[in-house]
Amino acid sequence: MQQWLPMSRSEMRQMGWDAPDLVIVTGDAYVDHPSFGTAIIGRVLESAGYRVGIIAQPDWHDPASVSVLGRPKLGFLVNAGNLDSMVAHYTAAKRRRSTDAYTPGGAAGKRPDRALIVYCNLIRRAFKGVPIIIGGLEASLRRFSHYDYWDNKVRHSVLVDTGADLLIYGMGEKPVLGVAHALKAGRPVKEIDDVRGTCFIRTSAEGLACIQMPAHGKVCEDKKAYNRAFMLQQRENDGVRGRRIAQAFEKGYVIANPPSAPLTRQEMDAVYDLPYTRAPHPSYQKPIPGLEEVKFSLVSSRGCYGGCSFCSLTYHQGRIVQTRSHESIVGEAQRMTQDPDFKGIIHDVGGPTANFRQPACPDQLKRGACANKQCLWPRCPNLQVSHYDYRVLLKKLRAVKGVRRVFVRSGLRYDYIMYDNDPAFLEELVESHISGQLKVAPEHASRRVLELMGKPEIDLYDRFCKRYYDLNRKKGKKQFLVPYFISSHPGSDLDAAIELACYMKKTGQRPEQVQDFYPTPGTLSTAMFYTGMDPRTEKPVYVPRSEQEKAMQRALLQFYLPKNAEAVRKALQKAGRTDLIGHETDSLVPTARPPRPTRPARPRGKKA
């Protein structure tokens, strides 16, 4: 029978352990499902013969909470969870979130702000001299000096702030095994400096072949230096051609080895074929919302060459797409059908971009992704476009006994669909793989904003919409598009926001949700937000910063809501576009009604 990794000493004793080799401390609840990083790392280590325990969401006020499994023989592995802990806790408006999808019952407050720092401090207080290795998304995106939106300043590498011994960045299967093997062989953790996909600290960078980026102090005081450092990190963040880079700080250097090599298909299969229970640890009494959407979903790929400026996944997973075999994915689907809760519906088959099932071009596997060019937008002439493999995979999944429907809910690049000369994929998508509505992300309508976002011009989206709705009519279906738009992205002034609102009015789109731009660590858009420049060109970029302007831009995207009318009028007046106020066909908002005259108050005690 499949077992969860132990979370208590009694569970360890049942497994015949005296002590774990490694303990994973995580900010999420422990869910043994391959959509959760802790589960993957734990199972990968277990498959290599290591005894791995889990401490999920320890009480950060009490050092004893990280002592429940005792002192591990090799060390602690610490992550903040599937999300950066600050993103998990705060909205783009810096308001505290009331729920946490990765906690039983969705309860908020079970993990601290800046979870990596807090957990590492707890461990140091409880265990002197034990190796601490940090990883996961929070570590990966904060591995060098970075702008922190919540503090509104440039912070040190999280390796410096935590005092950890090593940092694993990117997808961690290969690096964590490399570190574990080195520790098991008796190497002191402070001497492990040769594992790809890791960062370490040294007092000197001499003797290490490193590319030097601007120092921490320099990037704090000079925004052009910040952009140079950011671009260097982006260029070298490639598992094929990436080089070792170093950044000085007050007490030494943070040094990053080249990124871990992309997983081969066989390696990807091995990771996802491990014996996950696909369920939360049985100690939890309440469901974990973050599992509900993915429990019956299948990971098809990793990596993304989409090039969206505001997305941090590329900095974490890389641009080279890695895929699982059909056999591995179909095998997982067959095992899924044995779950008593399975109702015959596979909710998703995808990854960062669902319809990427191959590298952008064969050269990426030989020479890496191009350092100074994008693959998709602007479209590279070497981009190979094909949905054939994905179509075959979806067809095989539809044929699995016990499967009634197979949906695609991960993001799809509609521009990639439009570049495909074979219309079969979109036809099959409309016919078989949409559960009422398809989510797409045009993001904006202004050409200059879209260029900064790394997104195609809006007319390509319009052509996609026409083809999509034509296919729905042809097939007798009533399926809709749910477009995502971002307000207040760098480059978007009021004129651009008004242009987007006019586009929505003209095309009849009424988005139910609008996302304010969120400056998360590790993205090109966040560098623009902080520096007011495009790091690629150092040209100035307008950045909406005031809460008043952000509110106006957000209201313009939902101009049709009566509650937004006053904010829309203020925005139009400020931009000198009062021509859009009135009752004409093109008007965004009606003229304000004059206030009703107030009746004089009657003297008390007198009848009317």
pLDDT, one tens digit per residue, over 210-222 is 999 999 999 999 9
| Cβ density class 399-420: b for 16+ within 10 Å, e for less | ebeebeebbbbbbbbbbbbeee
Position of tokens 């000079």?
Answer: 222
| Cβ density class 490-523: b for 16+ within 10 Å, e for less | bbbbbebbbbbbbbbbeeebeeeebbbbbbbbbb
Please compute the mean of the pLDDT values over residues 154-181 and round it to a whole number. Answer: 98
State both tokens at 90.
């705060």
Least confident piece of the model among 206-210, 346-350, 416-420, 455-459: 206-210
Other Cβ atoms less than 10 A from the Cβ of 479: the count is: 16
State both tokens at 602.
């009657």
With contact defined as beta carbons under 8 Å apart, do 170 and 317 qualify? yes
Residues 6+ apart with CB under 8 A from 605: none
**In the predicted model, what is the mean pLDDT of the chain?**
96
Cα distance between residue 93 and residue 128, in whole Å: 39
Residue 539: alpha-carbon gap to chain centroid: 27
Bond prior to 490 in cis (omega within 30° of 0)? no
Convert the pLDDT of each residue in 355-404 to its tens digit.
999 999 999 989 999 998 999 999 999 999 999 999 999 999 999 999 99
593 falls in which pLDDT band (50, 70, 90)? confident
| Cβ density class 374-386: b for 16+ within 10 Å, e for less | bbbbeeeeeeebb
Residues 6+ apart with CB under 8 A from 351: 299, 300, 301, 302, 303, 304, 410
Residue 604's pLDDT is: 67
Q: Greatest CA separation found in the chain?
A: 98
Give the relative orientation of helices 326-336 and 388-398 as an angle to the nearest 10 degrees.
30
608 falls in which pLDDT band (50, 70, 90)? very low
Convert the pLDDT of each residue in 464-504 to its tens digit.
999 999 999 999 999 999 999 999 999 999 999 999 999 99
162 falls in which pLDDT band (50, 70, 90)? very high
> Percent of the chain beyond pLDDT 90?
96
With contact defined as beta carbons under 8 Å apart, do 107 and 99 qualify? yes
Ordered by start, the domain boundaries in the chain are 9-196, 478-590
Residue 175: alpha-carbon gap to chain centroid: 20
DSSP structure string for 462-509 = HHHHHHHHHHHHHTT---EEEEEEEES-TT--HHHHHHHHHHHHHHT-
Query: CB burial class (10 A; 0-12, 13-18, 19+) of residue 71?
Result: middle
Looking at the structure, give the CATH architecture of the domain made up of residues 9-196: 3-Layer(aba) Sandwich (3.40)
Residues 6+ apart with CB under 8 A from 593: none
> Which of these, 252, 285, 279, 134, lies nearest to 197 by C-alpha position?
134
**Confidence (pTM):** 0.96
> Percent of the chain beyond pLDDT 70?
99
- Output phi, psi for 218, to 5 deg: -70, -45
- Output phi, psi for 298, to 5 deg: -125, 130
User: Does the structure show a pLDDT above 80 at 598?
Assistant: no
> Which of these, 412, 461, 415, 406, lies nearest to 438 by C-alpha position?
412
605 falls in which pLDDT band (50, 70, 90)? low
> Which of these, 333, 336, 301, 335, lies nearest to 320 by C-alpha position?
301
Convert the pLDDT of each residue in 45-63 to its tens digit.
999 999 999 999 999 999 9
Sign of dihedral through CA atoms 150, 156, 157, 163? negative
> Which of these, 77, 75, 69, 64, lies nearest to 13 by C-alpha position?
69
Residues 6+ apart with CB under 8 A from 488: 497, 516, 517, 544, 549, 550, 553, 554
- Output phi, psi for 244, to 5 deg: -70, 135
> DSSP class of residue 539?
-
